Structure 1
Amino acid sequence: MVGLDPFVGYNLAIGTVVALELLYLLSLEAPVTAYRRFVLVTVAGLVLAVVGGPIVELVAPRFVHWVHGVAALLVVFGLYDPVTNDVRTTEWARVLLTEPSQIRRPAEWMTPMDDEILAALHSTDLVLTPAVVAFNTGFSRKEVNRRLIELADHGFVEKVERGKYRLTRRGKRYLQGQLQTPPSTDTEAGVRS
């Protein structure tokens, strides 16, 4: 390592800037990464490619292809789910096709399942039973029923009659990213908007 090749130096500088930008974006949008782990896998692959590649090229140029190969695998696994043999188009559309200011900020009591339940109710705009929601989301009816009760307690869905729920305006506002801080206490839960 007598001197720094200008091309390697340029790659290292650009890679560092891109990696810092990606990490800054992730720090701003923590709910995205908390609920969608595949984003972290993809970003890890990108950071490894843009920073790890030039560093390995400086230190051990023989291994640069290995680093790029591992980085490519991470990116592929972030974009593709090998367990269900499915490209994550829907998940990435949710992340990329919304403005950063409109990314949902779930309350502390919420789970990733809640977003899917609310999205199922929103996509049909119908009154649904826990069994129908469970069938369409892939969760058990018991889990969905428990989460629907919690969502109803916080005003995101309303119980129309025994065992039938629909999305409220508050739930729609949350899905659209317009509800910045969902209520986390029982006193605020009774407020429906």
Structure 2
Amino acid sequence: MEGLTPFVEYNLLIGVVVALELLYFLSLEASVTAYRQFVLVTVGGLVLAVIGGPTAELFAPSLVHWLHGAAALLVVFGLYDPVANDIRTAEWAQVLLSEPARIRQPADWMTPMDDDILSTFHSADLILTPSIVACNTGFSRKEVNRRLIELDEHGLVEKVERGKYRMTQRGERYLRGQLRTVPTTNDDTDVRN
């Protein structure tokens, strides 16, 4: 075996990157994979294809097609339910399209409206006024203003100037489900990390 060709190097590099991304996804979604084995089967097939294919091409070229066939079968069995003889549409929709608020851990002081307000900031990535947030969430400007003051006090948004707010990094972490909020008590109203 002489040196690696640029094409094989590229395939290996892309395969490793994609495999690492898939494994990172699994580590973030541990609760999903714990009770939905079809996700693991599908991801296993994808990892086998993206890592096993280029590796087999390098060390055992005659096995590449067999390896890709096995990977394709794993992906098919992850997407298709042979018992029900149907595609796992509902199961995959539940995994991929579920409400991200389920993984968040709101503090005791938070209301369901806070998730909508923070999501508006997240999707816009701009400095917004209470009126604009109210228009995009369907809540009254007065309610939104009250909640923005509370969210500012707890570090999830920050007041840029009078009547204008933006999302903080803490707010971004909360929306991604990476922030553990601490329940507030009467003498401790600050939940900043």
Under a length normalisation based on structure 2, what TM-score does the superposition of the two structures give?
Answer: 0.52
Aligned twin of 1:39: 39
Aligned twin of 1:76: 76
Q: Deviations over 1:5-59 (max 9, x none)?
A: 1111101100100000110110111110001100000000000000000000000
Q: What aligned pairs does 1:112-123 form with structure 2 within 5 A after superposition?
A: none
Q: Deviations over 1:110-141 (max 9, x none)?
A: xxxxxxxxxxxxxxxxxxxxxxxxxxxxxxxx
Aligned twin of 1:21: 21
Task: Give the structure with higher Rg (CA).
Answer: 2
Q: Which amino acid aligns with 2:51?
A: V
Tell me how far apart the structure 1 counterparts of residues 102 and 17 of structure 2 sit (CA, whole Å): 25
Whether contact under 8 Å (1:79, 1:87) holds in the other structure is yes
Seen in structure 2, the aligned counterparts of structure 1 residues 8 and 34 have a Cα distance that, compared at 3 Å, is same
Structure 1 residues not aligned, in runs of 5+: 106-176, 181-193
Structure 2 residues not aligned, in runs of 5+: 106-176, 181-193
Q: Deviations over 1:65-92 (max 9, x none)?
A: 0000000000000000111101000000
Structure 1 runs (4+) deviating above 6 angstroms are none
**C-alpha displacement at 1:99, in angstroms?**
5.5
**Fraction of identical pairs, as percent:** 76
Aligned twin of 1:97: 97
Seen in structure 2, the aligned counterparts of structure 1 residues 39 and 104 have a Cα distance that, compared at 3 Å, is farther
**C-alpha displacement at 1:101, in angstroms?**
5.9
Cα RMSD of the aligned pairs, angstroms, is 2.3
Q: What aligned pairs does 1:108-187 form with structure 2 within 5 A after superposition?
A: none
Aligned residues: 108
Aligned twin of 2:111: none
Tell me how far apart the structure 2 counterparts of residues 102 and 52 of structure 1 sit (CA, whole Å): 35
Aligned twin of 2:149: none
Tell me how far apart the structure 1 counterparts of residues 46 and 12 of structure 2 sit (CA, whole Å): 13
**C-alpha displacement at 1:104, in angstroms?**
8.4
Under a length normalisation based on structure 1, what TM-score does the superposition of the two structures give?
Answer: 0.52
Tell me how far apart the structure 2 counterparts of residues 104 and 34 of structure 1 sit (CA, whole Å): 18
Where 1:3 maps in the other structure, the secondary structure is coil
